[in-house]
A and B are shown apart, each in its own frame.
Chain A
Amino acid sequence: MGVIIEGFVEASRLILTLDPEIVAITWLSLKVSVSAVVLGFILAMPIALALSFYNFPGKQFLVNIVNTLMGLPPVVVGLFVYLILSASGPLGFMQLLYSPAAMIIAQLIIVIPIIAAISYNSISSLDSRLKETAVSLGANNLQAMWLLIMEARKGIVTSIIAGFGAAISEVGAIFIVGGNIRFHTRALTTAIMLETRRGQFELAIALGIILLAMAFAVNIILTRYQARGIPR
């Protein structure tokens, strides 16, 4: 019990004094995860839209693949990205291993199926009469598509929240491809792992609190999008 209370006291001190190491770690985590989610969203939406609005051979198979990849173990992603980016791997010449870019790539692979699957699900479960109604009011294909996206925005925002949650709390993959290098690729989760290993529980708890607070803040901000109707 003592460790936990001391942990919280030390944690408050570190956070309130803006300890430079904590700030660097937090900033890196945010940078990597937000980049992965933003890029992941840009890459996942075309997949979700293609699955929602077009019929093509092998579509159901692709849906199954995306759903399966949603449960991809991050450590496996980490190993896979490591082998590709490693100096002896096919993309070794790019020298991306043990850099924030490598961490973003690994998180992208984790985040894309999550955003694509949840977004597809929320668009495809919309009432089919919505599209008919939009067309009957004069919408062309693109406008009808946009309407359906807006109607499904709740699910789409949920997909972003889920993607960000997976990214910011992910540890296995970014540890393998980032290397947990101090002031360079050390993120909140890998730092917590390191400090726990080292027995620096106060620091680990402080980092844990920041991680929770960040996930919470992002949730609050994004949930506001779901709550109200966005004017079209």
Chain B
Amino acid sequence: MKRTTLFVTVFSLLVVLGGIYAVMTPEEKILRLATTTSTYDSGLLDYIIPVFEEKYNIEVQIISVGTGQAITNGERGDVDVIMVHSPEAELKFIDKRYGIDRYCVMYNDFVIVGPAEDPAGIKGMNIKDAMGVISDQEAIFVSRGDDSGTHKKELKLWKASGMMPAGSWYLESGDGMGMTLQLASEKGAYTLTDRATFTFRKKTLDLEILVDGDIGLLNPYGIIAVNPDMHPSVDYESATDFIDWFKEPLTQQLIAQYRVDGEQLFTPLNGECIGG
């Protein structure tokens, strides 16, 4: 009994001391990046960022949240740099002076996925027609419903097709891309997803790509530093290093090289912005 008491006491103390030590110890330079779950879940960042960390001796801490929260994190000065895919929200972020030095890094594209049987028969249509058919036939469609970049894109596509997404066939998951795909797969439903996340998750899903390749489905990613004038506590220097590193041809090449199950997920933009 006494030995257990001693063990538990000593162990608890060690753990607490370890915690305090970890808090007190100054670490190497840290760069905080807020990005979207779909970016993070694609695995690209885990693939390329170690190269940056090695070269600059800066530890990159990635916080993956929805586009809305990633931008709010930037506005509140909780991170040094953000990487999102919502050109309008990005430009607004810069207009409000929270962000500077935007660089258009790469794009992937959105696709409409659904069950292989394709009950609404949208396979091969252009995006505008496909959205119209889904809504006309009231085929089950799962929306992110979380104000994310993908969700915003989806709403824009509904608007462009002149449809109002509402009714019992229109489900809102309120969750990240992965969970939304999972839900669509379970329900035999259609959904809009970025190609990267879908490719990454494909093997656990009963879904396939039905509509893609439309110019309206392009999904550009931008990287923006948080303005140090608004938040003096941010590490602007490291953020600049980070953005500059993305501009390097070698990095752009690395992005193009990233494959999941043999498929390329992202195409480098070399700073050429599309859609704003």
Q: A interface vs B, CB < 8 Å?
A: 3, 30-32, 34-35, 38-39, 86-89, 92-93, 95, 97-101, 104, 179-182, 184, 194, 196-199, 201, 221-222, 224-225, 228, 230
Measured between beta carbons, the chain B residues less than 8 angstroms from A31 are 15, 18-19, 22
Enumerate 14 A-B pairs (CB-CB under 8 Å) in ascending A order: A32-B19, A34-B12, A34-B15, A35-B19, A38-B13, A86-B76, A98-B32, A98-B61, A98-B63, A181-B61, A196-B178, A197-B178, A198-B178, A198-B200
List B residues 194-225 near A (Cβ within 8 Å): 200-201, 203-205
* Residue B6 is within 8 A (CB to CB) of chain A in the complex: no
A180 touches B1 (CB 8 A): no
Q: How far is the CA of A35 from the CA of B234 in the complex (A)?
A: 29
Interface string of B4-16 (1 = CB under 8 A from A): 1100100111011
Of A30, A88, A89, A199, which one neighbours B15 at CB under 8 angstroms? Answer: A30
* Residue B231 is within 8 A (CB to CB) of chain A in the complex: yes
A224 touches B19 (CB 8 A): no
Task: Give the secondary structure class of B's interface.
Answer: helix
Measured between beta carbons, the chain A residues less than 8 angstroms from B62 are 181-182
Q: How far is the CB of A154 from chain B (nearest CB, A)?
A: 15
Among A38, A180, A181, A194, max chain B CB count under 10 A is at A181
List B residues 56-85 near A (Cβ within 8 Å): 61-64, 75-78
A34 touches B16 (CB 8 A): yes
A92 touches B41 (CB 8 A): no
Q: How far is the CA of A10 from the CA of B32 in the complex (A)?
A: 32
By size class, the interface of chain B is: 35 or more
Q: How far is the CA of A34 from the CA of B8 in the complex (A)?
A: 11
* Residue B227 is within 8 A (CB to CB) of chain A in the complex: no
Q: How far is the CA of A31 from the CA of B19 in the complex (A)?
A: 6
B61 touches A184 (CB 8 A): yes
Q: How far is the CA of A32 from the CA of B200 in the complex (A)?
A: 31
* Residue B23 is within 8 A (CB to CB) of chain A in the complex: yes
Q: How far is the CB of A71 from chain B (nearest CB, A)?
A: 23
Measured between beta carbons, the chain A residues less than 8 angstroms from B182 are 199
Known contacts being A182-B62, A199-B201, is A88 close to B76, with CB within 8 Å? yes
B77 touches A221 (CB 8 A): no
* Residue B233 is within 8 A (CB to CB) of chain A in the complex: yes
B233 touches A35 (CB 8 A): no
B77 (CB) vs chain A CBs: closest residue: A87
Measured between beta carbons, the chain A residues less than 8 angstroms from B234 are 87
* Residue B145 is within 8 A (CB to CB) of chain A in the complex: no
Of A32, A35, A197, A221, which one neighbours B176 at CB under 8 angstroms? Answer: A197
A42 (CB) vs chain B CBs: closest residue: B16
A179 touches B61 (CB 8 A): yes
* Residue B251 is within 8 A (CB to CB) of chain A in the complex: no
Measured between beta carbons, the chain B residues less than 8 angstroms from A181 are 61-63
* Residue B160 is within 8 A (CB to CB) of chain A in the complex: no
Q: How far is the CA of A230 from the CA of B5 in the complex (A)?
A: 10
Q: How far is the CB of B270 from chain A (nearest CB, A)?
A: 28
A180 touches B178 (CB 8 A): no
Q: How far is the CA of A32 from the CA of B16 in the complex (A)?
A: 8
A182 (CB) vs chain B CBs: closest residue: B62
B61 touches A87 (CB 8 A): no
Q: How far is the CA of A87 from the CA of B1 in the complex (A)?
A: 47
Of B11, B78, B177, which one neighbours A97 at CB under 8 angstroms? Answer: B78
B37 touches A224 (CB 8 A): no
- Rank and list the top 4 A-B pairs by shortest CB-CB distance, nearest first: A87-B77, A179-B63, A197-B178, A88-B76
A89 (CB) vs chain B CBs: closest residue: B76
Q: How far is the CB of B105 from chain A (nearest CB, A)?
A: 21
Known contacts being A98-B32, A98-B61, A198-B200, is A35 close to B178, with CB within 8 Å? no
B178 touches A101 (CB 8 A): no
B19 touches A100 (CB 8 A): yes
Q: How far is the CB of A104 from chain B (nearest CB, A)?
A: 7
Q: How far is the CB of B148 from chain A (nearest CB, A)?
A: 13
Measured between beta carbons, the chain B residues less than 8 angstroms from A88 are 75-78, 231
Q: How far is the CB of B265 from chain A (nearest CB, A)?
A: 14
Measured between beta carbons, the chain B residues less than 8 angstroms from A179 are 61, 63
Known contacts being A87-B77, A181-B62, is A100 close to B23, with CB within 8 Å? yes
* Residue B179 is within 8 A (CB to CB) of chain A in the complex: yes
B41 touches A198 (CB 8 A): yes
Measured between beta carbons, the chain B residues less than 8 angstroms from A228 are 1
